[in-house]
Amino acid sequence: MMRRGLFAPALFALVGHTMGAPAMEPHELFDKLSPSVWTVSNYDGRSRVQSMGSAVTIAPGRLVTNCHVLEKGVSFTVDRENVSYGATVEFMDPERDLCQLKVVGFEAASVEIADSRELKVGARVYAIGSPRGLEMTLSDGLISALRRTEDGSLVLIQTSAPVSPGSSGGGLFDAAGRLIGITTFQRKDSQNLNFAVPSGLIGELP
């Protein structure tokens, strides 16, 4: 699912590591990060799939996705290839469209979260997710703009990296393989206007 619209102003937490991390080749980045990006399936009361999205592993047994991926869901799974785990919602922030899932026995590697202060317009970025349910899809582009509130708080990353329905909740990564955003929606009435929630906001979920 992809959602159109903007989010209300919000302050953001800063999580990250050193500046100037070396860039990776796209195939190296994909090999490292794709095991941490999973498909989210949303089931109704009759155990029928009613929507699908993506999620990123941010800690042992913890993944982050968009709240709109989970709307009206009775139960959820995170899936990759032939592996599936039951998931429960641990934290919700519908205003920022970020939700955290808890998965028992889940051992996928966690991604590194970038410092939002390092983001620059024009930087190369990569999106990994499950557009239209097509698992482990990689696309690339640039940071097109950094959308801020009047007080300067970063609320959206605009990118030219292509996303589609099903990409929601997937990861937007910098060239060093660090998570910079959670892909959230695209403007369907425009060409290649795609948006992600800054990963710095993940630290505020608890």
pLDDT in tens, 24-34: 999 999 999 99
Nearest to 55 by CA among 4, 14, 106, 16: 106
Report how far residue 105's alpha carbon sits from residue 37's, in angstroms, rounded to the nearest whole number: 16
**What tens digit of pLDDT does each residue of 128-166 get?**
999 988 999 999 999 999 999 999 999 999 999 999 889
pLDDT in tens, 73-103: 999 999 999 999 999 999 999 999 999 999 9
Q: Tell me the C-alpha distance between 110 and 171, whole Å.
A: 12
Backbone angles phi, psi at 31, to 5 degrees: -60, -35
Q: Which residues pair with 158 in a beta bridge?
A: 145, 195
Query: Residue 8 above 70 pLDDT?
Result: no
Active site residues: 68, 97, 168
pLDDT score of 17: 39
Please check the confidence at residue 196 and state whether its pLDDT lies above 90. Answer: yes
The pTM score is 0.87
163-186 pLDDT, tens digit each: 988 999 999 999 999 999 999 987
Helices (H), the chain: 26-33
Is the pLDDT assigned to residue 200 strictly greater than 70?
yes
| Percent of the chain whose pLDDT exceeds 70 | 88
Q: How far apart are CA 100 and CA 60, in angstroms?
A: 12
Helix (H, G, I), strand (E, B) or coil at 116: helix
Whole-Å CA distances, 43 to 70, 74, 85? 9, 6, 13
**5 has pLDDT over 90:** no
> At residue 112, what are phi and psi to the nearest 5 degrees?
-90, 135
How far apart CA 203 and CA 206 sit, in angstroms, is: 7
Q: What region, left, alpha or beta, does residue 176 occupy, with left being phi > 0 and alpha being psi -120 to 50 degrees?
A: alpha
